[in-house]
Amino acid sequence: MSAGASTLALVSPIGPTLSTDSGCQVPFLAHNGRQGHGDMATTDRAELHKTIWKIANDLRGSVDGWDFKQYVLGTLFYRFISENLTSYLDEHQHKAGIKDFDYSKLSDKDAEFGRKETVLEKGFFILPSELFINVRANAKNDPNLNETLSRVFRNIEGSAVGSPSELDIKGLFDDLDVNSNKIGASVPKRNELLVKLLDSVGELALGNYSDNSIDAFGDAYEYLMTMYASSAGKSGGEFFTPQEVSELLAKITILGKKKVNKVYDPACGSGSLLLQFAKVLGKDNVSDGFFGQEINITTYNLCRINMFLHDINYEKFDIAHGDTLTDPIHWDDQPFEAIVSNPPYSINWDGDSNPLMINDPRFSPAGVLAPKSKADMAFTLHILHWLAPNGTAAIVEYPGVMYRSGAEQKIRKYLIDNNFVDAVIQLPKDLFFGTNIETCILVLKKSKKSNDVLFINADKEFQRQGNKNKLTSDNLVKILETLKNRTEIPHFSKLVTHSEIAARDYLLSVTGYVLEEDKRVVLDLDQLNSKIASVVNAQLKMRDEIDSLIINVSEFQAAQSKLSTFTELTLGEVGEFTRGNGLQKADFVEVGEPCIHYGQIYTHFGSMTNSVISYITKETASKLKKARKGDIILTTTSENIADVCKSVAWMGEGEISIGGHSCVFRHKLDPIFATYYFQSHYFQVQKNYYVHGTKVKDIKISDLSKIKIVVPDLETQERIGHVLKSFDELINNVSSGLPAEIGLRKQQYEFYRDSLITAPNNRLTK
């Protein structure tokens, strides 16, 4: 819908005839755009999405994904308009009785006859030889493919020159630069990628245009934009609003309506917000079309492409390029019945440095301009001025706009005092691409029936999906029903009078009016103090036991030197080493025979549990050595030499296979004693004496066998093991009890802190 374009009448069903090379006359009929029917199944859509994203990533090679999106999206658009035009022309020839007519097989000479009528109806024209299907078919054999595509794109845009659709078609392929070094250092390299691109997009299962819903193309395009925005960080967030947020904004503006005249977005990005109206109402129920303006030229092109791909024909949209605040294009088209926008947050604008701004009718009623470093309220006032008396606007706002002082506070005062603010809705954080901030929706109306403002706190209304939060359908229903009925729900929504807002210096932050639910548990102070006393008494008892144990240990230590017989041995003399066989990755299974592998040896005493046992196939287990109850297992491999020879005692029943780089020796050491012995500083010193400086991973059994140990008799080993185990358990019990006591003490502190500064009737205690 070019600026100033008049409404077009339908071409007569009995249009001009088309002369073919064969000399026969066939009627060349024009027809209004068709609405697609049906939709892809969910499973088909998911598979298509997966394929599209794989193609997009596989093709781009070393090209940055954000840059490469123009090529994937542009090629998808080229295929769409080719199939759209072919289907449009074929359909009417078939209705006229020419059942075997196929525009893609027509000669360019024959096709030229219908150019003028086709451009008037569709907005563009493509010669048969320049259709996607035919260019793709010849692409591999075209050494000048880049030049061919450049010519085709120029011709498509040139076909609209001088027609009402000229401005809507102009520049649509500007960002699809087939001669860019980004896609190849030489022409052959560039053409190689272009062939792959044409083939990949051509093979996408988007269905036959004439048989399938055009939603297949639109859905594919939306998915690609979502994925590019998600992976592009901040730059993606600036051009694309998540679909569920777009849906919420659109539905807010049409509550209670089944039809609107015109919809508008002053910072339309890729058009996702505007297109929600086509989904929610149906495009035919937006009677006078879709309007938007976008300052970024690339995104402006994306938006126009998006309109075409969603079967919004050129006479139904008017997307303009430029700065909305300083050079708004749609003066002659406003006011608008529904306005939605997610304008850029807190960007710079001319403000009071431009003397024309203060007299601009959009901004002058407020008596003040938005700060030059924060254009948020400038967009808000622009939207309000262009809003129809019976219209609704829904604007995503940066939170600071709702509470900052200065000029923004004065603008809020203007909005409240004139009863333009219908509602403020707090959204969850981390909804948008490129930022995780919380945002809110400001709802404006010019003809309100009440003089209050509904505040809705929807910051908990989301589901975490992947690395972003998303509004679910249930979340949307809850927000919209509350807004529609203007109901007050504790801790979710509240109606606030203008006088109360004025008394709070025109604060519009939702959390200033909708109080969070107090989820503190009612505290039974007597029970809490009893728990603390119980934990403290248990700790004191264990400390007494430790003190008593230390006395016994000291006495035992003195007696030990007189009664015990110590023997100096090497590990090789303690018992026979059994070396486990090596294992391959394929030997390990989820369920099978238990196996101790070197990577699972640990030093803390205890029974070996499933969490530190691998499972291997029965066939592998039959070839390995076994460990039995009471055996001591050592690892002979470690990245860190200090970890070598740490042990664990297997105290379970049955047998366990021994994997590679582990070994077991038997019976001449008490298992409990050995567990602590191999952790001792004494043993580490002895070990380092023999293997100090070793840098290789494997420590040979022959090296281990030389390490000297000095041990008492088995009876004394058993007594020492028992004492050390008791000491170990007591220390661990004392340590584990401390967090419990600290947690209870924290509750105790928080109660007394709050009770000392809180009125008695607000204290949460029995």
Is 3.90.220.20 the CATH classification of the domain at 570-711? yes
Q: What are the pLDDT digits (tens) for 348-377?
A: 999 999 989 999 999 999 999 999 999 999
Please tell me the predicted confidence (pLDDT) of residue 721. 84
Whether 141 shows a pLDDT value over 80: the answer reads yes
H helical segments located in 259-373: 272-280, 297-309
Helix axes 297-309, 272-280, angle to 10 degrees: 20
CATH of 242-517, one of 3.40.50.150, 1.10.1200.10, 3.10.110.10, 1.10.10.10: 3.40.50.150
Please tell me the predicted confidence (pLDDT) of residue 222. 72
Residue 467, φ and ψ in degrees, nearest 5: -105, 15
The string over 77-86, giving b where at least 16 C-beta atoms fall within 10 Å of a residue's C-beta and e elsewhere, is bbbbbbbbbb
Q: How is residue 752 written in tokens? A: 């007394």
Whether 23 shows a pLDDT value over 50: the answer reads no
Average pLDDT over residues 623-652: 62
Task: List the single range of 444-453, 644-653, 686-695 with lowest mean pLDDT.
Answer: 644-653
Q: How is residue 165 written in tokens? A: 């659709």
746 vs 651: CA distance, rounded Å: 40
Query: What is the helix (H) or strand (E) element at residue 230, kind and residue range?
Result: helix 215-232
* 3: alpha, beta or left? (left if phi > 0; alpha if psi -120 to 50): beta
DSSP notation for 84-130: HHHHHHHHHHHHTT-TT--GGGS-HHHHGGGHHHHHHHHS----GGG
pLDDT band per the 50, 70, 90 thresholds, residue 8:
very low
Among residues 232, 236, 208, 210, the alpha carbon closest in space to that of 87 is found at 210
Q: Are the beta carbons of 303 and 294 closer than 8 angstroms?
A: yes
Domain boundaries, the chain: 1-232, 242-517, 520-566+731-766, 570-711
Task: List the single range of 306-310, 336-340, 620-624 with lowest mean pLDDT.
Answer: 620-624
Please tell me the predicted confidence (pLDDT) of residue 572. 79
Largest CA distance in the chain: 125
Q: Who's near 666: CB < 8 A, 6+ residues apart?
A: 575, 576, 628, 630, 631, 632
Long-range contacts of 165-168 (CB under 8 A, 24+ apart): 165/2, 165/5, 165/119, 165/123, 165/124, 165/314, 165/315, 166/2, 167/2, 167/3, 168/1, 168/2, 168/123, 168/304, 168/314, 168/317, 168/318, 168/319
CA-based radius of gyration for the chain: 38
Q: Who's near 20: CB < 8 A, 6+ residues apart?
A: 26, 106, 107, 110
Please tell me the predicted confidence (pLDDT) of residue 31. 31
| Mean of all residue pLDDT scores within the chain | 80
Where is mean pLDDT largest: 60-64, 127-131, 236-240, 563-567? 127-131
Please tell me the predicted confidence (pLDDT) of residue 7. 24
Q: Who's near 462: CB < 8 A, 6+ residues apart?
A: 428, 431, 469, 470, 471, 472, 475
Average pLDDT over residues 140-155: 95
pLDDT band per the 50, 70, 90 thresholds, residue 602:
very low
In three-state form (DSSP H/G/I as H, E/B as E, the rest C), the secondary structure along 658-696 is: ECCCEEEECCCCCHHHHHHHCCCHHHHHHHHHHHCCCCC
Whether 755 shows a pLDDT value over 60: the answer reads yes
Per-residue CA distances from 193 to 73, 362, 407 (Å): 15, 49, 53
Q: Who's near 464: CB < 8 A, 6+ residues apart?
A: 470
Q: Which residues pair with 655 in a beta bridge?
A: 628
Whether 134 shows a pLDDT value over 80: the answer reads yes
CATH of 1-232, one of 1.20.1260.30, 3.10.20.30, 3.30.565.10, 3.40.50.10420: 1.20.1260.30
Please tell me the predicted confidence (pLDDT) of residue 24. 35
Whether 447 shows a pLDDT value over 50: the answer reads yes
Whether 390 shows a pLDDT value over 90: the answer reads yes
Q: What are the pLDDT digits (tens) for 182-230?
A: 888 899 999 998 998 899 888 887 765 444 444 566 677 777 777 766 6
Q: What are the pLDDT digits (tens) for 493-504?
A: 999 999 999 999
DSSP notation for 488-546: -BTTTEEEEEHHHHHHTTT---GGGTSPPP--PPPB-HHHHHHHHHHHHHHHHHHHHHH
In three-state form (DSSP H/G/I as H, E/B as E, the rest C), the secondary structure along 248-272 is: HHHHHHCCCCCCEEEEEECCCCCCH
Where is mean pLDDT largest: 84-88, 94-98, 251-255, 654-658? 251-255
Q: What are the pLDDT digits (tens) for 274-288?
A: 999 998 999 999 999
pLDDT band per the 50, 70, 90 thresholds, residue 2:
very low
Task: List the single range of 50-54, 145-149, 585-589 with lowest mean pLDDT.
Answer: 50-54
Q: Who's near 157: CB < 8 A, 6+ residues apart?
A: 124, 169, 170, 171, 172, 173
pLDDT band per the 50, 70, 90 thresholds, residue 649:
low
